[in-house]
Amino acid sequence: MPPLNTRWDIFCTVVDNYGDIGVTWRLARQLVSEQAMTVRLWVDDLRAFERLCPEIDISLDQQWQQGVEVRHWPAEWQEVEAADVVIAAFACQLPSVYMDAMAAREKPPLWMNLDYLSAEDWVVGCHGLPSVKYKSVQKYFFFPGFQPGTGGLLRESGLLERRQQFQQDPEAQRQFLHGLGIDPAPGAQLISLFAYENAGLASWLDVLAADSTPTHLLVPEGRILGDVARWLGVESLAIGATHVRQALTVQVLPFVRQDQYDQLLWCCDFNAVRGEDSFVRAQWAGRPMLWHIYQQDEDIHLDKLDAFLALYTKRLSPAAAEAMNGLWRAWSAGRPIGDHWLEARKHWPELQENARAWCLEQALQADLATALVQFYRNWI
């Protein structure tokens, strides 16, 4: 074991949305609560952080939350001592004064870039390789991933057990949903919808409305709301707004705490998610899902999407795999998905079983926090 009280500094710049802070906050908490590390989390945008963790006081430069020292990353960096392990999340650039502080240490720190999540094969070959050097300090690539030989996925200890228990307890689910003002009609399928703007949404809502099965669609406040409002023919959608169109009830939810969002995913029969962190959380929910991948220049996100689909659908029959591929690719391209949805519904039990099996398979890997600590242990 690395010595207790090993000090870690995690650096997070909020580029856009909530994934950067979502991932680093989750990791920081886990290093403290499960690995007994001392963690400072440097964040340049506390407002984004406050959405996931309402206890954050955005006026403070330094505060403790759940055992993590949260520091506002100031525009004018003051000198601080560098930690034993330094993580630059998503290739963020460390302050030059801090880089000098790393180099000034008697024993240089372990410096890692925690990279973006990808299922592409090359990740296995690059995970753990040395990257650039600053003076005496060597930086390493640390890649999360789905395959053995990568850094794995963030997964808190006991998460799947807690999830299973909750999913087997209809009363706990009813109470949780009721607490958010959600009271679905008996027999309605629950779907959560967290996505970027998407022109393909209307075709999906059309088929859900025309379906014989009632659907209760839960839409957390966010970028897709404009498309939902357009389809409903309303000017705007406030939190709590509920609209019914034939078999479809649409309800707008507030942005909830990260742990409540997990529970929401666990309650739903189907989860539409986006980015990086909600994508992983939906996999731990063990239910069929749909990913709106974060768009990147020159469409490189499409390679990432296909790489994940190849792994995720490997157990499915050719027809079910084709349905999933069609649905996911159309959604991430903003094309209509109504027909793809109907096709996927034909394979529902198989898709449910696949979601469960995929979740269990992924849980066989060491979680990302454990893998980071192991990497440090090997390095010292």
Positions marked active-site: 20, 276
* Partners of 12 in the β-ladder: 43
Burial tier of 105 (Cβ tally within 10 Å: 0-12, 13-18, 19+): middle
Nearest distance from C-beta of residue 279 to ligand TRH, angstroms:
6
> What is the nearest approach in angstroms of ligand TRH to the Cβ of residue 255?
4
Residues lying near ligand TRH in the complex (CB under 6 A): 15-20, 22, 52, 194, 220, 255-256, 258, 261, 274-279, 294
The answer to whether residues 341 and 324 touch, using CB atoms and an 8 Å cutoff, is no
Collapsing DSSP to helix, strand or coil, 348 comes out as helix
- Cβ proximity to ligand TRH: between 152 and 220 the closer is 220
CA–CA separation, 322 vs 344, rounded Å? Answer: 9
Total count of residues recorded for the chain: 380
Specify the residue, 275 or 338, whose C-beta has the smaller distance to ligand TRH: 275
User: With respect to ligand TRH, which residue has the nearer C-beta, 292 or 347?
Assistant: 292
Positive/negative CA dihedral, 185, 186, 189, 195: positive
DSSP conformation letters of 120-180? -THHHHHTT-EEEEETTEEEEEE---SSTTS------TTHHHHHHHHHT-HHHHHHHHHHT
Task: Provide the minimum distance between the beta carbon of 317 and ligand TRH in the complex, in angstroms, as a whole number.
Answer: 29
CB nearer ligand TRH, residue 133 or residue 178: 178
Query: Nearest approach, Cβ of 364 to ligand TRH (angstroms)?
Result: 23
Q: Is the Cβ of residue 248 or residue 256 nearer to ligand TRH in the bound state?
A: 256
- What is the DSSP pairing of strand 110-114 with strand 137-142? parallel
Name the minimum Å distance from CB 53 to ligand TRH. 8
Distance CA 348, CA 112 (A): 41
Question: 167 with 266: CB under 8 angstroms?
Answer: yes
